[in-house]
Structures are given as structure tokens and as C-alpha cells.
Amino acid sequence: MVKVTVCIGSSCHIKGAREVVETFQERIAKNDLSRKVELGGTFCVGRCNEDGVSVTVDGEYYAVKPENAAAFFDDIIAGLAG
């Protein structure tokens, strides 16, 4: 199980947290990964200055922009889940 946590705090919300969550949800549904990827949210993780929405994948930190969310999912998350 890959644990993916998206920050949905104020600053990440402005940077597009909702789009990132939705993209991940679509990807999970499309690739039938609901039993391999656990998607969750968290309030502010204190890294509001990063250029992108704060995402952790199995504890590893990433800043993800909405426009790169699909590619990020395929490269990093799907890779680990696969």
C-alpha cells in the first residue's frame, strides 16, 4: 500500500490542492489502484513557501503543481504501487 497525503491547508488550497486531489482520484480509478494507493489529506504541513502543493508519498516530500499532477502520479505513485 502506497500512502499518499495531500496538504489541503489554506496556502496549498490556493495553489490548487483540489485539482491535485481530483487528478490523483481520477488516476486511481482509471488504473484500478484503489487497493494499492491510500489517498488522504492533511492540514498545513508548514511548507507553504514551496512551489507547488505539498504531497507526501510514503513519507517522502514533494511539491506538486496541478498541471504536473497527472505526470507525477504516473511517474512516482504508480511506479511504487505497480
Partner 1 sequence: MPLRLESGYTSLNKKNEELCGDKVEIRRNGAYTTLVLADGLGSGVKANILSTLTSKILCTMVSENISIYDCVETILQSLPVCKVRGVAYSTFTVIHISEEGKGYLLEFDNPAAIYRRNGVCGDFDREEMLVCGKKVYKTELSLAEGDMIVTMSDGVIHAGIGMTMNFGWQRKDVVEYLNRAIKPEMSARCVAWLLAAACNDLYLDSPGDDTTVLAVKVRKALKVDLMIGPPVDRSQDDFYISRFLSGEGKKVVCGGTSSQIVARHLGKTVRASIDFPDKDVPPIGYIDGIDLTTEGVLTMRKLLEYSEKYLSVSDLSPKYYTKKDGASLLAELLFEEASDITFYVGQSMNKAHEGLPIDITMKLKLVETLSKNLLKMGKNVEVFYD
Q: Which of 31, 36, 38, 42 binds partner 1 (CB under 8 A)?
A: 42
One-letter amino acid at 33 equals L
Q: How far is the CB of 79 from partner 1 (least distance, A)?
A: 22
Nearest to 72 by CA among 38, 23, 31, 33: 23
Stretch that binds partner 1, among 6-14, 29-37, 55-63, 65-73 (CB under 8 A): 6-14
Inter-residue contact 54 to 47 (CB < 8 Å): yes
Distance separating alpha carbons of residues 62 and 76, to the nearest angstrom: 10
Cell of 54: 505539498
Residue 51 binding partner 1, by CB under 8 A? no
Residue among 26, 29, 34, 46 that touches partner 1 (CB under 8 A): 46
Out of 1, 2, 3, 11, the only residue in the binding site for partner 1 (CB under 8 A) is 11
Which parts of the chain are beta strand (E)? 2-7, 37-42, 53-57, 60-64
The residues of the shown chain that bind partner 1, judged by CB under 8 A, are 6, 8-11, 13-14, 17-18, 21-22, 39-44, 46-49
